[in-house]
Amino acid sequence: MMRWRGVMEEFRKFLPITERTPVVTLCEGNTPLIRAGRLAARVCPQAELHLKVEGANPTGSFKDRGMSLAVSKALEHGARAVLCASTGNTSASASAYGGRAALPVYVLIPAGNVALGKLAQAMAHGATVIQVEGNFDQALAVGKVVCEDEGFELVNSINPFRLEGQKTAAMEICDQLGGAPSHHCLPVGNAGNISAYWKGYREYLAAGQIERCPAMIGVQAEGAAPIVRGHVVEHPATVATAIRIGNPASWPSALRAVEESSGAMEMVTDEEILEAYQWLAGEEGIFCEPASAASVAGLAKRSAAGLVPEGARVVCTLTGHGLKDPDIAVSVSPRARTVKATRDAVRKALRG
Ligand code: F0G
């Protein structure tokens, strides 16, 4: 079996890179696409369901695909440093790839609203972590200005190379399925990823690799659903901190993806997100973070409303690993009991 070389080498002909572009990679991509029979029976028995497990990337989220390209390009341009605003995953990824490229990394995170695992990653990789008193939208606004002041490369998804790298997930799914799905569900925060997937599908169609593109279904959390509601949300709130965003940077291109694909933008409650999160971990063996489970919650909601046709072939992207947010996992699960180290005590505990 050939060794997987990361998204830049594997999808080189679809990417804006040359022989002079340095390749900064952690061999991201090639993540599992897993058939989910039990979950399908529960949420969409009329359809076929596959889960794209992006938590299996090197830093535990889909961001690595785009970060490989963005950091490589920053290096090619001779950037002094990279900076991002982040709800956590972008900062984890930027810290790893930037560190690998020997570039200083600065991350701006909304104070008190980043999951512990993500914060730990940025710190472990040696980034300068700055907590901003405000939400993600405010951190991004200030990050843009500071990058101009300092001549740093901004590696948020408004950096076009991020989306170029992330589009490879759509191409990979088509390769793994032997064709395009009919419907694709994914969580939407800053709206970069849905825009990237749509670009990937369209380019694969143009290259003759697939015969159709899927309907794109974006899913937002009810307390942070600016695109569904059609207006900026001043104070976004959701248990899914990764998508706690009230004014997405890629709003127009996300809307285009939904319109051009005859898809939809959906919203789900925190309760629905956590329910899907527990189904995934408990019944499919896939531990993702809450934001990721929004894709499945959105699918369940649309299927219950009769909006998923018989015979549909659905892919849900699970964007980040469950270990990113251990606090949530512990808080929604029964408490572990502590007993004496004796046969009797343990056997008694087995019975609850
Ligand atoms: N799922 C996870 C786990 C995420 O971390 C994000 C975004 C999304 C979904 C939404 O993707 O923004 O492209 O619509 N996280 C960003 C961050 C905002 O800073 O890590 P999007």
pTM above 0.85, yes or no: yes
Token pair 């004796």: residue: 342
Residue ranges in 132-250 assigned as alpha helix (H): 136-150, 160-166, 168-177, 192-206, 226-229
Q: 181 CA to middle of ligand 1, Å?
A: 22
Residue ranges of the chain with per-residue pLDDT less than 50: none
For 254-288, write each residue's pLDDT tens digit. 999 999 999 999 999 999 999 999 999 999 999 99
User: What's the rounded Cα separation, in Å, for the pair 108 and 129?
Assistant: 6
Q: 146 CA to middle of ligand 1, Å?
A: 22
Nearest Cα neighbor of 162 from 231, 253, 258, 228 is 253
Q: 150 CA to middle of ligand 1, Å?
A: 25
For 20-61, write each residue's pLDDT tens digit. 999 999 999 999 999 999 999 999 999 999 999 999 999 999
Does residue 86 line the site of ligand 1, with CB under 6 A? yes
Instruction: State how far Cα 98 lies from the chain centre.
Output: 19
| Nearest atom, ligand 1, residue 192 CA | 13
